[in-house]
Structure 1
């Protein structure tokens, strides 16, 4: 009582709470109180119920979002090297241990994204500090999501940013948005434009007046990802979460699995869900609610690790439900 600081458990839950006498301190207290369904007294004394697991996870999400968005121009997403066996011409030294690479063929491995050359055995010890070189990234589509954003030093793939900006600028009220397909050849044109020109690609209404071409290009980008936005590693956990009958427990389970996504995937999913929520706010004109968008984006954003038609069919309703939950609760989950 009478202390100027938050309780120790609140400090431990969120490092931001440790700030002293800053102009934003009161605002942070309000955010923490809202996340924990508690309240902060006039002198900063914590009042309210004991912290529960979902409250902790909400604070974790708050901190993670702040870390992801603190600097839009510089992204420190961790990325593993993409090593492939390589035959070097002439003498070559390992860039990890600095020892000579012996042999005439297949002397070591090279990262196809950044060009790092190491012994095969050394590759197991190299830290996840790959910095992709744009000269080595030949395509935008079909490129690993984290690789693309690190190569371009952006938070999200430029395809996602540019397409969503175009759709929100002129297409939110378009009937059947994302459900109606554009002409396949025009969608392929957009894909080639991004692969050829990157962020300089022109997808304006002057070139592509039909907004369904842009939505088709965005969906195609997600389908072409070698690792889906909702990764193979988290797929089964999301499906299990969707099967929980209690809505509150299901929401908590979904939130916990979200925290397992790689940062670039999490940020891309977060940005997309904010956009899709805007789509649902125009439901009277576009006739697209969260359930309809779940049907469209379920199999687009998440695919089972094993190519099994039966498993895909069995999981379709859960895929739809996951995306629906993410859209309807984006303000809570992200």
Structure 2
């Protein structure tokens, strides 16, 4: 059916003209609209854009998504709407923290440091609360609904406020930031080379080779890894209390920081070896 669409910076409103207002309009009144649905663009993507039609997918969460097909009466209206959509998505990306490329995120006007603010703030808050002495930190999951709500709030431009969150939820956000990256921080290109280093018998040479690989990463990735590795080192030094040895930390974090583009059984097996 024919809809009237209103596009704002971060939402799309689907409406219908109120038929009962037609006579009033003829007499000089204003047209009113009946609200049909709101599409939140921060969780929406363009699926297809074909001749005079655009398909959108809105994902409420990993198990629930909605598809919308918009058809236009002319190519000019199609192109105008598509261009407006792209501008809206650019605006949304300019405020996002989770789920966008690291380099692009650091151009965000919310970012002013050498590493992502979400990484700096989560680590700082965990240290402030002595969470490195908490059993199972990084291994124990935080509250899933709280984490999802926080992600949505922050990705819509809301503040990174960790005060009301428990330490496991904060560490869950820390892990989620890296998991949501379109490409892992240690990159797909270097995946094979990082895995090859695990075959090096000499621990000294292994560390040297890892360092050389990390030096090939973009500066922001290097600074970020240095920051979190320092945190992991501190965490491991309290393993008698928190039960998070270097091996346990690697088992939890390696798949988040380094994984292949194709997640098959062979890659998973090799990944397991790298965690040892």
Q: TM-score range by the shorter chain?
A: 0.5 to 0.7
Give the gaps of 5 or more residues in structure 1: 1-85, 87-103, 115-132, 322-334
Q: What pairs with 1:261-280 in structure 2 (closer than 5 Å)?
A: 261-280=217-236
Query: Could you give the per-residue CA deviations for residues 90-144 of structure 1, whole angstroms, max 9, x where no partner exists?
Result: xxxxxxxxxxxxxx999xxx9x999xxxxxxxxxxxxxxxxxx866524211011
Q: Does 1:226 align with 2:182?
A: yes
Look up the match of 1:160: 119
Backbone CA RMSD of aligned residues: 2.7
* 1:173 maps to which of 133, 147, 164: 133
Look up the match of 2:210: 254
1:113–1:137 contact (8 Å) kept in structure 2: no
1:186–1:213 contact (8 Å) kept in structure 2: yes
Instruction: Give the C-alpha shift of residue 214 in structure 1.
Output: 0.6
Look up the match of 1:187: 147
Equivalent-residue separation in structure 1 for 2:185 and 2:260 (angstroms): 12
Which is strand-richer, 1 or 2? 2
- SS of the residue corresponding to residue 139 of structure 2 reads coil
- SS of the residue corresponding to residue 211 of structure 2 reads helix
> In 2 relative to 1, CA 176–135 (structure 1 residues): closer, same or farther, beyond 3 Å?
closer
2:98–2:180 contact (8 Å) kept in structure 1: yes
Q: Does 1:142 align with 2:99?
A: yes
Query: Could you give the per-residue CA deviations for residues 150-194 of structure 1, whole angstroms, max 9, x where no partner exists?
Result: 222331111101111111111121111111111211111221232
Normalised by the length of structure 2, the TM-score is 0.63
Normalised by the length of structure 1, the TM-score is 0.53
Equivalent-residue separation in structure 2 for 1:305 and 1:283 (angstroms): 32
- SS of the residue corresponding to residue 190 of structure 2 reads helix
Instruction: Give the C-alpha shift of residue 196 in structure 1.
Output: 2.6
2:118–2:160 contact (8 Å) kept in structure 1: no
Q: Does 1:213 align with 2:169?
A: yes
Equivalent-residue separation in structure 2 for 1:174 and 1:227 (angstroms): 30
Equivalent-residue separation in structure 2 for 1:135 and 1:306 (angstroms): 28
Equivalent-residue separation in structure 1 for 2:205 and 2:119 (angstroms): 31
Equivalent-residue separation in structure 1 for 2:230 and 2:220 (angstroms): 16
Number of paired residues?
Answer: 194
Give the gaps of 5 or more residues in structure 2: 1-48, 50-75
Look up the match of 1:201: 160
Equivalent-residue separation in structure 2 for 1:244 and 1:193 (angstroms): 44
Equivalent-residue separation in structure 2 for 1:256 and 1:153 (angstroms): 27
